[in-house]
Structure 1
Amino acid sequence: MNVTRQRIEKLLDNNSFVEQSPEIGGLAIVGTGRVEGRPVFIVAFQSAPFQPDEVLSTVQKIVAILEQVLADKYPLIFIHDNPAATAGTGGTPLSSDYLRLLTDRRGMGRIYCLQARISGVVPTVSLLLGKVASAQAFPVTFSDAAVMTNQAGLCMGRPNVVREMIGEDVSFEELGGAKVHSQVSGIIDVVVDDELEAIEWARTYLSYFPVRAGEILPQKATISPCCNFPENGEAVAKDKPFAMTGLIDSFVDAGSLLEIKRNFAGEVITGLARVEGMAVGIVANNSACNGGILFAATCRKMSSFVALCNSFGIPLLFLADVPGLMIGRDAERSGIVQAGAQLFATLARATVKKMCVVTRKAFTGGLYAMAGPGFDTDLFLAFPEAEIGVYGTQTIERITRQQAIEGDNCRHLSQPETAVQKLLAQGLLDGIITPQELRAALCGFLKTSYLCQSE
């Protein structure tokens, strides 16, 4: 059994794989199988050398299986590898049908078209296990999620092509290695050490999703949290980073948190988890990274995750500890206004149930970014010592002092009323809870969400 078939066997339930069109298109193996008893489609690129003239027939075989995905609506898994690996560059032989591959209505462009249409209809995940480039790179980015081994790579043009076309001498790792795509571009959701870890991650990822949009979410057995959140107030102190990961561990089922894009835009944590076996998408500010300020990349990461959860009916929990969106020259040039607006638009269009809890603070546009009450949020809560306002008390004090120095008597800012007790009394907050009460409150919220799905 070759390497590609071994990978398929490890990925799918025992003896569940049924290959389609094995007689054509030797560049990839396609077919159907099961993951945890649920049907899936699979496209696995071969890791062995191939004949260049097989490219077009392989592409058309993949087009056929993607059309079947759209018809039957079952999850789609891609396994990506370089089918003609060579030392250094991994160059790929050029097909004699390259022009037809480009222009045929069932050529490579059709794969991209179908993948775009599949997005949001069924869950899709890519396993990147080799160094791929050019036409094969786009199917990775069209997937909802992508897991990559440390040794793999992804780029538009291989090093030899880059050298010939633009005169740049660069390695594959520099172009599109694990560090580049997990920390800089954000294309890859997680980097793992080996293929078995990648396979296990993909299986776990799919377990949070229904087989298709509109279906009821799967449930698992309840597991108690792995730890308790401190009750002495130290974890919510204003003068040090908030222990957001500790808070999350205190209310989710132990071992259930699957972080998405963990190493990218660390100002926010995004991940899938379970509470009493029910799936939930978590968006949580991380003050341990850049104080939790939202940059353009942070907003884009949040938008992508919210859209994913909304597509498949996964309720969203927002844990706010945010000073706001970044300002300044670099921020403006990075497109912070557009990225923030896109996040607001994604939140506004999301019809999935949303719960927002202000853990320590939520100021100015940061409250909007964390699904504040203006975005049809179903439940808006806060911890007792949290602050909500246009500015924090320290900012107000600095502005007021500067105005006094400049002799500005026209526009003094009054000390803000940021205490959440006042907001609750005004009916602007749904409730105040302690960290220890969060799991129970979230359970009630999720049960209501699941009940709405089943009706």
Structure 2
Amino acid sequence: MSLKSRLEILAQQGGSLDRGTSAYKRLVALFDEGTFVELDAYAGCGEDAAGVCTGYGMIGGGMAYAFSQGGAVGTVHAKKVAKVYELAAKVGVPVVGIYDSVGARLEEGHDVLAAYGQMLGCAQSLSGVVPQVAVVAGVCAGTAAVMAASADVVIMAKDAQLFMTAPFVTSALGDKVAGAGSAENAAKAGVCHLVAGDVDDAVEQAKKIVSLLPLNNLSEAPYVEYEEADGTALRGICENMQDYDVAAVLAGIFDAGSVVELSAQFASHVTTALATLAGQVVGVVATAGAAYQMCSSCTAKIARFVSVCDSFGIPVITLVDTDGFYESASDELAGAARSAARLAHVYAEATCPKITVVTGKACGSAYVVLAGKNASADLTLAWPSAVISTLSPEAAVNILWADKVKGSDKDAQAALVQEYIDTLASPFEAAKNGYVDDVIDPAYTRSALISACEMLAGKRVTNLPKKHGNMPL
């Protein structure tokens, strides 16, 4: 090809063979205006384009790398994606993957298996080193689904599909499930963290998530501009814990409009979210209220979220009001103890700042795992409404005051339970014994947490030398 012909191609196509594709346009939309730089624009498979667009640019003012699929996966595709991960590792910045592929290039035979392995290996090697965000824009199947689900945050367009085995295959085998592979089902299963209205919305949500995360595991959590929250309503919530509303509590503590809830459709009895507190990005874990118990899905949701926060040094603030772990024979058979052990392992191993506020009930193992001073929290605060006990108040009364309970009516038993709560299970009693650092006015929860985060900003902890902990999976 002559130099003149090459220049004509550049003039016609703007320097890239992919600039007219949706894959390219999605990357342009992902990065700050005018910052996207494409990599390997002319890489192809024979006469065909490589089926993926890659490059780098700025997202929210911070550098990031990304790839966007737009065709079949093959060896050249894998090489382009691998380069993105290699450069991201060298520079220490996030990676965003936009998944939309018709599948593997079958004509490449066994080579395509190695291609998938190369991409999956790159993603796993950077897990916990730089943030990874997956946007599922179309079909994401098989090994690609494994790779996407391995990301720290998974965002799906409402009409996208993510599955290990195609729904029409399982349906043909007699295993038909309504909505199999859909974004709605992925969200309910905890695979997808956020569901967007369409692909454009998904890309916008990815931009917001990336802007809230540190560049890498050695960078500090970012600070952003913020609006003050009004915490005056928290005092009323404390006075009537029957009306405990997690959303209202979060709104009274964290910067106005800053809470981004993740996995809302999965294990809804607990809330996990990214938010800002006086401009600092924090991770938030909150239980739904004393009327609810934590099942194995709840513990898995919290453990995964806390692990991500710890990977990138994001402070974790835990708000506790729960009756404890789910009391169920079926849950026990499903491995409830293993699930609780996994949650305890993640909290204990996390070296990021950990602050717990006991707003209501925290009894027995629920207190130990979520608020315990010796493993789970650097600082434990409590509202006056807190109930902190080795057993539930009802069980404790039946054991400690069995003679008083015997023969008494329901009203008398309720009075004994309240007496136990007001005395032995009181947050002031726990504070007297050093198990709570301070009992605070709910209206000042925000200021107390801001002060705690500032105090713990320089936290440095070194765990015992080991390859990794043996997490009960």
Aligned residue for 1:410? Answer: none
* Distance across 2 between alignment mates of 1:18 and 1:181: 32
Check the 8 A contact 1:78/1:127 in 2, yes or no. yes
For the structure 1 residues 371 and 306, does the alpha-carbon distance in structure 2 shift closer, same or farther, using more than 3 Å as the test?
A: farther
Q: Is 1:393 the equivalent of 2:404? A: no
Check the 8 A contact 1:323/1:361 in 2, yes or no. yes
The one of 51, 59, 79 equivalent to 2:78 is: 59
* Distance across 1 between alignment mates of 2:456 and 2:207: 24
Aligned residue for 1:424? Answer: 431
Give the partner amino acid of 1:18.
Answer: V
Q: Is 1:210 the equivalent of 2:214? A: yes
- For residues 37-82 of structure 1, the C-alpha deviation after alignment (integer angstroms, 9 at most, x for no partner) is 2111101001xxx4x6x62221222223222222222100011113
* Distance across 2 between alignment mates of 1:116 and 1:348: 23
- For residues 23-44 of structure 1, the C-alpha deviation after alignment (integer angstroms, 9 at most, x for no partner) is 2242111111110121111010
Aligned residue for 2:28? Answer: 9
* Distance across 2 between alignment mates of 1:122 and 1:201: 18
Check the 8 A contact 1:130/1:151 in 2, yes or no. yes
Aligned residue for 1:75? Answer: 94
Give the partner amino acid of 1:303.
Answer: A
Select between 350-359 and 92-101 the one with higher mean Cα deviation. 92-101
When the two structures are aligned, how many residues end up with a matched partner? Answer: 422
Aligned residue for 2:358? Answer: 358
The one of 21, 27, 36 equivalent to 2:60 is: 36
* Distance across 2 between alignment mates of 1:66 and 1:169: 37
Deviation for aligned residue 1:235: 4.8
Aligned residue for 1:177? Answer: 182
The one of 10, 33, 37 equivalent to 1:18 is: 37
Aligned residue for 1:259? Answer: 261
Q: Is 1:237 the equivalent of 2:243? A: no
* Distance across 1 between alignment mates of 2:371 and 2:218: 23
Q: Which runs of 5+ in 2 are unaligned?
A: 1-19, 45-49, 408-416, 461-473
* Distance across 2 between alignment mates of 1:397 and 1:448: 39
Structure 1 runs (4+) greater than 4 angstroms displaced:
397-405, 413-416
- For residues 85-125 of structure 1, the C-alpha deviation after alignment (integer angstroms, 9 at most, x for no partner) is xxxxxxx47511221222x4xx2112112211111100110
Deviation for aligned residue 1:129: 1.3
Task: Please list, as runs of the form range in 1=range in 2, the aligned pairs for 1:148-167 lying within 5 A after superposition.
Answer: 148-163=156-171, 167=173
Task: Please list, as runs of the form range in 1=range in 2, the aligned pairs for 1:136-155 lying within 5 A after superposition.
Answer: 136-155=144-163
* Distance across 2 between alignment mates of 1:287 and 1:94: 51
Q: Which runs of 5+ in 1 are unaligned?
A: 85-91, 406-412
User: How high is the sequence identity, in percent, across the aligned residues?
Assistant: 25
How high is the TM-score relative to the length of structure 1? 0.87
Aligned residue for 2:312? Answer: 312
Aligned residue for 1:27? Answer: 51
Check the 8 A contact 2:275/2:283 in 1, yes or no. yes
Q: Is 1:168 the equivalent of 2:168? A: no
The RMSD of aligned alpha carbons is 2.4
* Distance across 2 between alignment mates of 1:401 and 1:153: 61
Select between 373-382 and 350-359 the one with higher mean Cα deviation. 373-382
- For residues 111-153 of structure 1, the C-alpha deviation after alignment (integer angstroms, 9 at most, x for no partner) is 1122111111001101111122112211211110011121111
Deviation for aligned residue 1:163: 4.7
Aligned residue for 1:287? Answer: 289
How high is the TM-score relative to the length of structure 2? 0.83
For the structure 1 residues 199 and 93, does the alpha-carbon distance in structure 2 shift closer, same or farther, using more than 3 Å as the test?
A: closer
